[in-house]
Amino acid sequence: MNSLHLLIDADDTLWENNIYFEKAFADFCDFMDHSTLDAAEIRTILDEIELANARVHGYGSANFGRNLRQCYERLAEGDVHEADLLKVTRFAERILEAPMEVIEGVAETLEYLAARHDLILFTKGHPEEQKLKIDRSGLAGWFGHTAIVREKDAASYRRLVEERGLDPELTWMIGNSPKSDINPALECGLNAVLVPHEHTWRLEHQDVGTPAPGRRLVTLGRFAELRALF
Domain architecture of the chain: domains with CATH: 5-15+101-229 (3.40.50.1000), 18-97 (1.10.150)
pTM of the model: 0.93
Reported as a single tens digit per residue, the pLDDT across 34-65 is 999 999 999 999 999 999 998 888 899 999 99
Mean pLDDT of the residues in the chain = 96
DSSP class of 34: -
Q: CB 115: neighbour CB atoms within 10 A?
A: 8
Name the residue type at position 107.
Answer: A
Model confidence at 1, pLDDT cuts 50, 70, 90, reads low
pLDDT at residue 47, as a whole number: 96
Q: How far does the chain reach from its first CA to its final CA, in angstroms?
A: 8
Residues 6+ apart with CB under 8 A from 1: 116, 230
107: confidence class by pLDDT, cuts 50, 70, 90: very high
